[in-house]
């Protein structure tokens, strides 16, 4: 059995289920209070529901084979652990930033350099800058790398934004998606992000290496996720064009090569519903184009006489091989 951990609740749980369902995989739980489930569409896979922070630890120690969690937690808890592999580095949700935030009244503090100067001034005055955070290891390393040397980290496991107003910290280092909670607590973000984070798929080197059965299941999962994530960026266009031959229509469609599809157009004669001789010489053209090229491709087809243009968002785009799986095999040593 492949042991696959996903977040147990909240937005991470909902987004994970939506991602898997878009890939044709469905998490089935007999009881919403159970912390195990079956993944319909991927055989021999047991789904385990855990806290995202616990997923990092359990995959690293090998009690779980793969799991979905946040990169911020991977960086904080197991940044240098060779047994924890980031298999897929952006699943498309949980995009947040770890930032410094200071009271809005500190008008002279607007950068990391200002925080370093402030810490030095406070040190000279006999006290140290207090930083409330849940990310002690990440923040400590960042501070030392950017000249912020005199500080104390205050552990915070909840409502970090309230720490300055409650008086147990001077500034905070916390994750944010929109910055709303920071502003609501009369704080402001200074400097750029300490760390950018998103949802990732992690794997255990010690349990996957040499296990062909588990690797086969991981490959199937990666193929589906990768193809679905790629497919969302493309549209399939179908249009009818008049023409003398397949070759003539093909030459017109490919006049703008960047709008002529991934490999080129698919062209086939249309079996006309009109009486023979009343109307003929029509061809169906299908092209797949990136999302940003959708309207230019439609205009190009119109310009060369296309009618009845329809579009469908592509569900999956599979390539000759899974890039994520190739990277995993390389990381495992072949």
> For the chain, what is the HEC assignment?
CEEEEEECCHHHHHHHHHHHHHCCCEEECCCCCCCEEEEECCCCEEEEEECHHHHHHHHHHCCCCEEEEEHHHHHHHHCCCCCEEEEECCCCCCCEEEEEEEECCCCCCCCHHHHHHHHHHHHHCCCCEEEEECCHHHHHHHHHHCCCCCEEEEECCCCHHHHHHHCCCCEEEEEECCCHHHHHCCEEEEEEEEEEECEEEEEEHHHHCCCHHHHHHHHHHHHHHHHHHHHCCEEEEEEEEECCCHHHHHHHHCCCHHHCCCCCCEEEECCCCCCCCCCCCEEEEEEEEEHHHHHHHHHHHHHCCCEEEEEEECCCCCCCCCHHHHHHHHHHCC
pLDDT at residue 334 tops 90: no
Q: Could you report the per-residue pLDDT of 92-117, keeping only the tens digit for each?
A: 999 999 999 999 999 999 999 999 99
pLDDT of residue 30: 83
* CA–CA separation, 306 and 38 (whole Å): 48
pLDDT of residue 165: 94
Please check whether residues 87 and 227 belong to one and the same domain: yes
pLDDT of residue 272: 73
Instruction: Tell me which of 266 and 334 has the higher pLDDT.
Output: 266
Please check whether residues 117 and 192 belong to one and the same domain: yes
Please check whether residues 59 and 70 belong to one and the same domain: yes
CATH code (residue 104): 3.40.190.10
Q: Could you report the per-residue pLDDT of 20-54, keeping only the tens digit for each?
A: 999 999 999 888 888 999 999 999 999 999 999 99
Of 172, 196, 220, at which residue does a domain stop? 196
pLDDT of residue 273: 72
pLDDT of residue 332: 94
Please check whether residues 113 and 170 belong to one and the same domain: yes
Please check whether residues 11 and 69 belong to one and the same domain: yes
* CA–CA separation, 41 and 53 (whole Å): 27
Q: Could you report the per-residue pLDDT of 274-296, keeping only the tens digit for each?
A: 655 545 589 999 999 999 999 99
Instruction: Tell me which of 160 and 272 has the higher pLDDT.
Output: 160
Please check whether residues 140 and 249 belong to one and the same domain: no
Specify the pTM: 0.89
Please check whether residues 85 and 204 belong to one and the same domain: yes
pLDDT at residue 121 tops 90: yes
Please check whether residues 44 and 131 belong to one and the same domain: no
Please check whether residues 191 and 241 belong to one and the same domain: no
What average pLDDT is seen over the chain? 94
Mean pLDDT on 226-232? 93
Q: Could you report the per-residue pLDDT of 180-203, keeping only the tens digit for each?
A: 999 999 999 999 999 999 999 999
- How many domains does the chain divide into? 3
Please check whether residues 82 and 223 belong to one and the same domain: yes
pLDDT of residue 307: 87
- Domain of 187 in residue numbering reads as 96-196
Of 176, 196, 216, at which residue does a domain stop? 196
pLDDT at residue 258 tops 90: no
Please check whether residues 261 and 180 belong to one and the same domain: no
Please check whether residues 191 and 275 belong to one and the same domain: no
């Amino acid at each position: 059995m492949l042991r696959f951990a996903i977040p147990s609740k909240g937005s991470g749980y909902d987004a994970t289920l939506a991602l898997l369902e878009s890939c044709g995989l469905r998490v089935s739980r007999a009881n919403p209070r159970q912390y195990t489930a079956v993944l319909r569409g991927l055989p021999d896979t047991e789904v385990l529901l855990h806290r995202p922070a616990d997923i990092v630890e359990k995959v690293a120690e090998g009690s779980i084979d793969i799991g979905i969690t946040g990169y911020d937690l991977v960086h904080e808890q197991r940044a240098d652990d060779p047994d924890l592999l980031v298999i897929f580095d952006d699943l498309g949700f949980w995009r947040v930033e770890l930032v410094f935030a200071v009271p809005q009244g500190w008008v002279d503090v607007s950068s990391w350099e200002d925080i370093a100067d402030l810490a030095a001034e406070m040190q000279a005055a006999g006290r140290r800058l207090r930083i409330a955070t849940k990310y002690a290891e990440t923040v400590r390393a960042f501070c030392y790398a950017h000249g912020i040397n005199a500080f104390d980290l205050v552990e915070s496991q909840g409502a970090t934004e309230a720490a300055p107003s409650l008086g147990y910290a001077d500034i905070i280092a916390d994750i944010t998606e929109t910055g709303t909670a920071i502003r609501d607590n009369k704080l402001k973000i200074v400097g750029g992000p300490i760390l950018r984070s998103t949802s990732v798929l992690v794997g255990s080197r010690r349990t996957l290496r040499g296990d062909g059965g588990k690797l086969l299941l991981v490959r199937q999962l990666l193929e589906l996720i990768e193809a679905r994530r790629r497919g969302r960026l493309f549209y399939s266009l179908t249009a009818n064009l008049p023409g003398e031959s397949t070759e003539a229509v093909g030459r017109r469609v490919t006049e703008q090569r960047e709008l002529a599809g991934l490999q080129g157009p698919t062209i086939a004669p249309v079996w006309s519903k009109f009486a023979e001789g009343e109307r003929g010489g029509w061809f169906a053209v299908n092209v797949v184009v990136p999302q940003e090229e959708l309207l230019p491709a439609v205009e190009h087809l119109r310009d060369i006489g296309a009618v009845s243009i329809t579009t469908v968002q592509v569900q999956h785009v599979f390539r000759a091989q899974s890039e994520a799986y190739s990277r995993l095999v390389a990381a495992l040593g072949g």
